[in-house]
């Protein structure tokens, strides 16, 4: 994790060093917008802790072009609207040079659109929707992780060799859940045209009682879920 985040910091080096503007003085500010509250916070805190370790290593060697890196964090609360709000705050109030985040694909897409408009580099740490660097990609967004197109294709190649034909798809009802399901199904259908989608279940992120969905799946008797 630290090694990967060190590579992310190196990417930030290149983005900043490649700017055509005269080099300003003072620290290079990186704003990290990610989820720091609720169950998903375990991933957000991992991101920030690893990023800070990598930054400490870079700063101990003199920083980037003689400038130290400073990290500023904000909690997106796993909500795209809050992610957009804190991204704007980081850029306009904190004057960050680079944005990074987040663990919610819908939030990442919202921040990415804002960064495209403001021409601010955005480094995606954990969001996996293929739209981020695909359909909605642009020159200011960079991803450090595989995306749903890759995962969906890999899983479909495995499942196409299995004897299952009747499928039920279920997952969290937000961008990533739908993106990974769509990528898997379109690849599976292409590899094995006889498969059938007998139903779908989508629940809110963090929804405590999944029994109604489980009962519906059991009643449909799919070959695979």
pLDDT value of position 157: 98
How many beta carbons lie within 10 A of that of residue 146, not counting itself?
Answer: 11
- Give yes or no: residues 175 and 129 share one domain: no
pLDDT in tens, the chain (225 residues): 455 555 555 566 556 555 545 556 799 999 999 999 988 999 999 989 999 999 999 999 999 989 999 999 999 999 999 999 999 999 999 999 999 999 999 999 999 999 999 999 999 999 999 999 999 999 999 999 999 999 999 999 999 999 999 999 999 999 999 999 999 999 999 999 999 999 999 999 889 999 999 999 999 999 999
- Cα dihedral 165, 168, 173, 177 in deg (nearest 10): -30
- Give yes or no: residues 118 and 158 share one domain: no
Contact 35, 104 (CB under 8 A): yes
How many structural domains does the chain have?
Answer: 2
Domain boundary among 94, 127, 145: 145
Q: Find the domain containing 184 and state its range.
A: 149-220
Domain boundary among 145, 170, 189: 145
d(C-alpha 189, C-alpha 97), whole Å? 44
pTM: 0.85
d(C-alpha 114, C-alpha 96), whole Å? 14
Which residues touch 53 (CB under 8 Å, ≥6 apart)? 2, 5
Task: Give domain status of residue 12, yes or no.
Answer: yes
- Give yes or no: residues 109 and 158 share one domain: no
Characterise 118 by phi-psi region: left (phi > 0), alpha (psi -120 to 50), beta (else).
alpha
- Give yes or no: residues 9 and 115 share one domain: yes
pLDDT value of position 74: 98
CATH number, domain of 16, equals: 3.40.50.2300
Contact 75, 51 (CB under 8 A): no
Nearest to 44 by CA among 119, 115, 112, 100: 100
């Amino acid at each position: 994790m630290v090694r990967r985040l060190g590579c992310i910091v190196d990417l930030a080096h290149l983005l900043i060093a490649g700017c055509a503007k005269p080099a300003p003085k003072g620290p290079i500010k990186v704003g990290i917008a990610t989820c720091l509250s609720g169950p998903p916070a375990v991933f957000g805190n991992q991101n920030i802790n690893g990023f800070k370790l990598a930054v400490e290593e870079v700063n101990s060697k003199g920083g980037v072009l003689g400038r130290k890196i400073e990290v500023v964090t904000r909690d997106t609360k796993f909500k795209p609207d809050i992610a957009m709000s804190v991204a704007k705050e980081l850029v306009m109030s904190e004057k960050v040079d680079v944005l990074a985040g987040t663990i919610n694909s819908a939030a990442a897409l919202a921040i990415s659109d804002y960064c495209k408009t403001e021409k601010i580099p955005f480094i995606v740490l954990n969001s996996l929707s293929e739209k981020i660097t695909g359909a909605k990609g642009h020159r200011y967004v960079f991803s450090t992780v595989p995306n749903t197109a890759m995962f969906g294709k890999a899983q479909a190649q495995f499942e196409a060799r299995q004897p299952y034909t009747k499928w039920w798809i279920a997952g969290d009802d937000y961008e990533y859940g739908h993106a990974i399901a769509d990528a898997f199904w379109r690849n599976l259908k292409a590899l094995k045209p006889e498969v059938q989608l007998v139903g779908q279940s989508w629940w809110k992120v963090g929804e405590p009682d999944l029994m109604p969905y489980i009962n519906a799946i059991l009643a449909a008797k799919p070959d695979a879920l």
